[in-house]
């Protein structure tokens, strides 16, 4: 296979809602490029994309598929991404290592929630977008309506390059207003018949052609001057203008295809090869030190590994982008993240489940390799005199969590190993072994995300698993001051144990003044702080520990033991056994014994005194509150608002964004555990949401009583 230069390579992400036809389009692209001899079908489980057993089981894309096509001396690396937002990690990865996005639209549906989500990702990353209307042969397809929809949502930057003569089962021709030609196909698609624009279509075609010429001229001063002079541009000038408009996101071209019948695919590839920006025309990437890394084939060799796939009979296949330099077969590289050495024994160009062996790949190209010793997703491998590291892919927070356990407890370790491998394939998985909750928690993007994990675990790894509702990480705190003392005394022959601690507890907040005087039961306690220690708790909040003991009642050497005892009790609050936080403790008095006092005695005395005081200090339970953003069609706004309010959520804002309404709310984590399923059911899968931790807030009184009663009942059991 030819070695392509950086200025001959284009990297493209193929995005779109579920059912928009990405897998079918992939088959047609590969067939037209001669990579495959016949087009596979999803129903026959023989497509280049969707070749994993779990994808055959569900009929959905679960993983991205990396492949390439060669066309007119150009190499197009394309990553076909899953449409479901549950597998958003694959789409975000693809967008970060490619330069242009094709957003596929289903002819019958137009702009869907998946379209909106993917467009938002391209917006954040500044990636060019081409809209591609597919399935024009669907009887419910209305191209003009889709065009109006796109324009109303994304504005005048939406510029059609083609329009169909008719849609529905009779679709077989488009007018291309860039070339001013009519393309038509026979029943089998493939190579088109190219003719002049029919007379009856000339007025419409010329109007759209002029709009395209004007849009192309806008992004180049020389072209704009020529346009003002003659109101016309040559074909090459228009391509140059469109390329610059694409690169700056100043225009979003609209193309037409019927991928299932292989109509329009060849013309699409011509456009991609001729117009889409090359790798070296796009903004440069920065390494973790903030240094710009240009895709220079003569620069130091640097590879970024963005994807791992567990292939049947092969093991790990590692996908990488050549960020700089040229990689040769047999090259020795250093792993900048793990400090290990690797040899690139084999290099391949990607073609889905197939791989094509090559001897070298240059900057900007995408390839894969096998049998590396110690490379994980997100690692960077460098050649000599190069110290790049890359960390530019940011994944969204998890939206759906479940506790996971193996039916056979002896398979827990095997289950954990399988989970870690899955996380290599999909970094949006988060695996947490919670000491606090005494559960293994799997955090993902939705119910379907976890359902595929369960299927793979049980069918591929032969481990039977169960999902449980995850416990909620509540916190305990206090609302007023309280005082307690405790004497620990034990005598059992020989040296005994003795320690007495008097302390005060009170709620802590940032910036509160140092303690001065307290009154309890008519008695005044004056505080003279000798030392203060602030402990940032690993579960959030603070413990402030003040030593105010005077007259040597307790030796200073016992203070760390008292603090240790208090910390032990903070790890198991008295109300629900959850972590306590935001407490100030003042040890102001106590007693020692010259022989029997030791660290253990004061640790136990401090622990018990703290527990007694905590219970008297108006203890309250705090619950985690999350910021939630819901993107919802306007006709479902009322239903979604009512549902959120039923979940104890507080609506804090409503705005319109790109044709959808955006609801912002604060909601307790307890009420959001199955929200992704409920939202999908409420809106027919047309809404999406994101959530992130905001703060801990007091739970309502009735909820607190239920939690305390449940904890007491469990303790009795």
For 616-642, the pLDDT digits (tens) are: 999 999 999 999 999 888 888 999 999
Residue 576: inside a domain, yes or no? yes
Are 109 and 222 members of one domain?
Answer: yes
Best CA proximity match to 322, nearest among 351, 283, 362: 362
What pLDDT shows up at residue 265? 95
Residue where one domain finishes, among candidates 555, 579, 614: 614
**Which of 238, 265, 281 represents a domain boundary (last residue)?**
281
Beta strands in 424-558 (DSSP E): 430-434, 439-444, 465-468, 475-477, 482-490, 497-507, 517-520, 523-526, 531-536, 542-547
Kindly state the average pLDDT of the residues 340-358: 91
Residues 18-36 have a mean pLDDT of 88
DSSP string across 682-702: HHTT--EEEEEEEEEEEPPHH
Helix (H) / strand (E) element for 596: namely none
- Interval 159-169: pLDDT, tens: 999 999 999 99
Q: Are 489 and 604 part of one and the same domain? A: yes
Same domain, 652 and 511: no
Calculate mean pLDDT across residues 218-243.
81
| Residue 286 pLDDT > 90 | yes
Same domain, 533 and 609: yes
Confidence band for 554, pLDDT divided at 50, 70 and 90: very high
Per the prediction, the chain carries an average pLDDT of 91
Statement: residue 46 has pLDDT above 90: no
Q: Cα(514)–Cα(500) distance, rounded to whole angstroms?
A: 24
pLDDT of 25 above 90: yes
pLDDT of amino acid 15: 96
Residue 658 has pLDDT above 70, yes or no: no
For residue 541, tell me if it sits in a domain: yes
Domain identity same for 248 and 338: no
Shared-domain flag, residues 143 and 243:
yes
Q: What is the pLDDT of residue 480?
A: 95
Report the pLDDT averaged over residues 445-455.
91
277 plus 289 within the same structural domain: no
- The answer as to whether 388 is a domain residue is no
What confidence score (pLDDT) does residue 51 get?
65
Residue 368 has pLDDT above 80, yes or no: yes
- Is the model more confident about 91 or about 493? 91
| Per-residue pLDDT at 714 | 83
Same domain flag for 376 and 405 = no
Task: Report DSSP state, residue 494.
Answer: S
Q: Is the pLDDT of residue 59 over 80?
A: no
CA dist 60 and 517 (Å) reads: 67
Q: Is the pLDDT of residue 493 over 70?
A: no
Q: Are 267 and 295 in a shared domain?
A: no
pLDDT of 233 strictly over 90: no
391 in a structural domain: no
Claim to verify: residue 72 and residue 138 sit in the same structural domain? yes
CA distance 4 to 359: 12
Whether residues 97 and 210 share a domain: the answer is yes
Judge if 218 and 294 occupy the same domain: no
CATH number at residue 377: 2.40.30.10
Positions of E strands within 478-530: 482-490, 497-507, 517-520, 523-526
Chosen domain end from 353, 382, 411: 382
The boundaries of the domain holding residue 649 are: 621-703
Domain membership flag for residue 713: no
pLDDT of residue 659: 64
Please check the confidence at residue 42 and state whether its pLDDT lies above 70.
no
Identify how many contiguous H helices and E strands the chain contains and give both numbers: 16, 40
Q: What CA–CA distance (Å, rounded) separates 304 from 324?
A: 10
Judge whether residue 41 has pLDDT over 80: no
Q: What is the pLDDT of residues 670-703, one digit of tens each?
A: 999 889 889 989 988 888 899 999 999 999 999 9
Q: State pLDDT tens for residues 573-618.
A: 888 889 999 999 999 999 999 888 999 999 999 999 999 999 999 9
Return the pLDDT at 410: 96
| Cβ atoms of residues 170 and 155 within 8 Å | no
**The pTM is what?**
0.85
């Amino acid at each position: 296979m030819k070695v392509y230069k950086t200025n001959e390579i284009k990297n493209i992400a193929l995005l779109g809602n579920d059912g928009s036809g990405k897998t079918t389009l992939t088959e047609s692209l590969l067939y037209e490029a001669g990579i495959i001899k016949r087009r596979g079908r999803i129903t026959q489980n023989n497509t280049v994309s969707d070749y994993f057993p779990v994808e055959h089981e569900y009929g959905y894309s679960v993983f991205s598929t990396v492949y390439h096509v060669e066309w007119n001396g150009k190499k197009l690396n394309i990553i076909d991404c899953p449409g479901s937002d549950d597998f958003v990690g694959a789409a975000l990865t693809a967008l970060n290592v490619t330069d242009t996005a094709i957003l596929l639209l289903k002819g019958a549906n137009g702009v869907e929630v998946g379209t909106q989500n993917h467009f938002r990702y391209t917006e954040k990353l500044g990636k060019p977008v081409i809209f591609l209307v597919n399935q024009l042969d669907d009887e419910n397809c209305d191209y003009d309506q889709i065009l109006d929809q796109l324009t109303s949502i994304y504005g005048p930057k939406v510029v059609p390059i083609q329009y169909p003569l008719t849609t529905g089962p009779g679709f077989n021709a488009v007018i291309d207003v860039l070339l001013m030609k009519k393309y038509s196909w026979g029943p089998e698609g493939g190579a088109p018949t190219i003719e002049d624009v029919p007379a009856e279509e000339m007025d419409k075609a010329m109007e759209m052609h002029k709009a395209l010429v004007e849009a192309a001229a806008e992004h180049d001063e020389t072209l704009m001057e020529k346009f003002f002079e003659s109101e016309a541009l040559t074909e090459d000038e228009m391509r140059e203008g469109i390329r610059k408009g694409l690169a700056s996101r100043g225009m979003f071209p609209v193309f037409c295809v019927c991928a299932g019948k292989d109509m329009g695919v060849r013309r699409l590839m011509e456009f991609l090869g001729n117009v889409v920006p090359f790798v070296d025309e796009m903004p440069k990437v920065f390494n973790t030190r903030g240094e710009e890394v240009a895709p220079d084939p003569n620069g130091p060799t640097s590879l970024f590994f963005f994807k791992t796939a567990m292939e049947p009979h092969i093991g790990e296949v590692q996908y990488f982008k050549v960020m700089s330099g040229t990689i040769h077969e047999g090259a020795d590289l250093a792993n900048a993240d793990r400090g290990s050495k690797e040899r690139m024994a084999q290099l391949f160009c990607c073609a889905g489940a197939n791989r094509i062996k090559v001897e070298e790949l240059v900057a900007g190209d995408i390839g894969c390799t096998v049998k590396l010793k110690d490379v994980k997703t997100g690692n960077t491998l460098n050649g000599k005199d190069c110290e790049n590291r890359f960390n530019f892919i940011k994944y969204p927070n998890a939206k759906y969590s479940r506790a996971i356990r193996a039916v056979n407890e002896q398979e827990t370790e095997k289950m954990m190993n399988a989970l870690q491998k899955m996380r290599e394939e999909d970094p949006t998985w988060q695996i947490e072994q919670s000491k606090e909750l005494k559960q293994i928690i799997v955090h993902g993007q939705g119910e379907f995300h976890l359902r595929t994990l369960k299927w793979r675990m049980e069918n591929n790894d032969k481990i039977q698993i169960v999902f449980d509702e995850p416990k909620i990480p509540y916190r305990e705190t206090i609302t007023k001051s309280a005082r307690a003392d405790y004497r620990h005394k034990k005598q059992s022959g020989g040296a005994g144990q003795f320690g007495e601690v008097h302390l005060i507890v009170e709620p802590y907040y940032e910036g509160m003044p140092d303690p001065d005087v307290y009154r309890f039961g008519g008695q005044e306690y004056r505080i003279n702080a000798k030392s203060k220690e602030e402990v940032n708790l690993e579960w959030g909040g603070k413990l402030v520990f003040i030593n105010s003991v005077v007259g040597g009642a307790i030796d200073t050497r016992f203070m760390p033991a008292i603090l240790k005892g208090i910390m032990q009790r903070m790890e198991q609050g008295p109300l629900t056994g959850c972590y306590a936080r935001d407490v100030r403790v003042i040890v102001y008095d106590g007693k020692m014994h010259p022989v029997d006092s030791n660290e253990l005695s004061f640790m136990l005395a401090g622990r018990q005194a703290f527990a007694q005081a905590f219970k008297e200090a108006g203890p309250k339970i705090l619950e985690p509150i999350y910021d939630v953003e819901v993107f919802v069609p306007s006709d479902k706004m009322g239903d979604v608002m009512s549902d959120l309010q039923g979940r104890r959520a507080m609506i804090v804002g409503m705005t319109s964004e790109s044709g959808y309404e955006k609801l912002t709310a604060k909601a307790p984590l307890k009420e959001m555990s199955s929200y992704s399923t409920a939202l999908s059911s409420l809106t027919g899968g047309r809404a999406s949401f994101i959530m992130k931790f905001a703060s801990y807030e007091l739970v309502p009184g009735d909820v607190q009583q239920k939690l305390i009663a449940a904890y007491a009942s469990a303790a009795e059991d």
